[in-house]
Amino acid sequence: MIREYVEAAMKKARYEFLPESKLFYGEIPGLRGVYAYADTLEECKKELEEVLEEWILVRVSKGLQIPEVDGVKIEVSEVV
């Protein structure tokens, strides 16, 4: 379930080169706080995926909702 979510979200990622800083910037629209900067596009993609995975874990640990991405969702039920 998590891998499917990460793959769906990464397909929505947008990247741009920032000439003034000579860095690549990547973000996933609709997932607030999921962005990355890196020297190369490949490093930016990798960093963005790591940020996304951490973002998911933080949201799950805090009981926050995780937005659906292209029909893929993560639902966490409380275990007692």
Q: List, for residues 8-60, the tens digit of each pLDDT value.
A: 999 999 999 999 999 999 999 999 999 999 999 999 999 999 999 999 999 99
- Long-range contacts formed by 13-20: CB under 8 A, 24+ apart: 13/45, 13/48, 15/41, 15/44, 15/45, 17/41
Tell me the CATH number for domain 2-61: 3.30.160.250
CA 42 to the chain's CA centroid: 15
**DSSP percent split of the chain into helix, strand, coil, nearest 5:** 40, 20, 40
Predicted TM-score of the model (pTM): 0.91
